[in-house]
Amino acid sequence: MKSLLSFRLLGILLLLSVCLLGQENRLQQDFKNPPKSARPRVWWHWMNGNISRQGIKLDLEWMHRVGIAGYQNFDAALQTPQVVEKRLAYMTPEWKDAFKYAITTGDQLGMEMAIAGSPGWSETTVQAPPEWFREGSRLWIDLGDVKNLAEVTVNGKDLGQAWHAPYRVDATSALKPGANDIKIRVVNAWVNRMVGDEQPGATKFTFADVKPYKANSPLLPSGLLGPVTVVREDVP
């Protein structure tokens, strides 16, 4: 009887060893070649219109080759020098054509795509000549066109928000002769994010009782469209 129990115990231990060895091998295999659901997604910044079809193709092929499963496109501007023959300004027909090419190429590689729906910002330094400053005059920062809300800071001073046309803020008390640090933070509506959520295979981030947007719904202009200018108003 004792020998029979020892034999059964030995059999159970052997079975457990085989199962654990199988799980270890699978874990090792999954670590070396993880499933798509476990692969990383990255931010993909398009900086200051430095975009070309060749660059898009090379970027996406490299991401796919090193195991990146998806990307979130983010158009940004941080004084990046020009490295392409022609910059593609945001939401121009050429930019939209490049964006469509990026979607098509990524889809052919089996990659997920998302569109940034978070606040973006533009920051620059403006040299203000002394002749801008006249006694009794006011200086405005005119943002041109904005989709949909902008917050402006000059030399660390919050000048408030612009949420309807004309998109401008009074910068008289903040601007000074010489170098001025200007930061513009922009928030757009969630329409483009909701369109992105309807793309085949996309991870959804938005939820609503109604679904007014489809996968083929047009993307709306968003961000700081400009042009941004400083306007002097001479007060009589």
Q: 93-108 vs 53-65: helix axis angle to the nearest 10? A: 30
What's the pLDDT score for residue 2? 46
Q: Are 65 and 131 within one domain?
A: no
What's the pLDDT score for residue 208? 76
Q: Measure the CA–CA gap between 218 and 206, rounded to whole angstroms.
A: 17
List per-residue pLDDT tens for the chain, 236 residues long. 445 455 565 556 555 555 555 555 676 776 677 787 888 889 899 988 899 999 999 999 999 999 999 998 888 766 778 899 998 887 788 988 999 999 999 999 999 888 776 666 777 889 999 999 988 899 999 999 999 999 999 999 999 999 999 999 999 999 999 999 999 989 888 888 888 888 888 877 777 777 889 999 998 888 888 899 999 998 77
Q: Are 129 and 233 within one domain?
A: yes
Q: Are 234 and 157 within one domain?
A: yes
Residue 30 lies in a domain: no
What's the pLDDT score for residue 63? 95
Which tokens go with 31? 């670590």
Q: Are 202 and 215 within one domain?
A: yes
By residue count, the chain amounts to: 236
Residue 26 lies in a domain: no
In the listed set 116, 147, 182, which residue is the last one of a domain according to the structure?
A: 116
Q: Measure the CA–CA gap between 120 and 149, rounded to whole angstroms.
A: 11
Q: Are 146 and 109 within one domain?
A: no
- Hey, which bits of 53-97 come out as E strands? 70-76
Reduce the DSSP state of residue 222 to 3 states and report it.
coil
Residue 172 lies in a domain: yes
In the listed set 80, 98, 116, which residue is the last one of a domain according to the structure?
A: 116
For 17-28, the pLDDT digits (tens) are: 555 555 556 767
Q: Domain tally for the chain?
A: 2
- For the entire predicted model, the pTM comes to 0.55
Q: Are 110 and 184 within one domain?
A: no
Q: Are 149 and 173 within one domain?
A: yes
What's the pLDDT score for residue 10? 57
Q: Are 222 and 123 within one domain?
A: yes
Q: Are 143 and 192 within one domain?
A: yes
In the listed set 116, 131, 154, which residue is the last one of a domain according to the structure?
A: 116
Residue 3 lies in a domain: no
How is 5-42 classified by DSSP, letter by letter? HHHHHHHHHHHHHHHHHHHHHHHHHHHHS--GGGS-EE
Q: Which domain holds residue 174?
A: 119-236
CATH number of the domain that residue 191 is part of: 2.60.120.260
- The overall longest dimension of the chain from CA atoms, in Å, is 112
What's the pLDDT score for residue 7? 52
Reduce the DSSP state of residue 165 to 3 states and report it.
coil
Residue 96 lies in a domain: yes
What's the pLDDT score for residue 127? 93
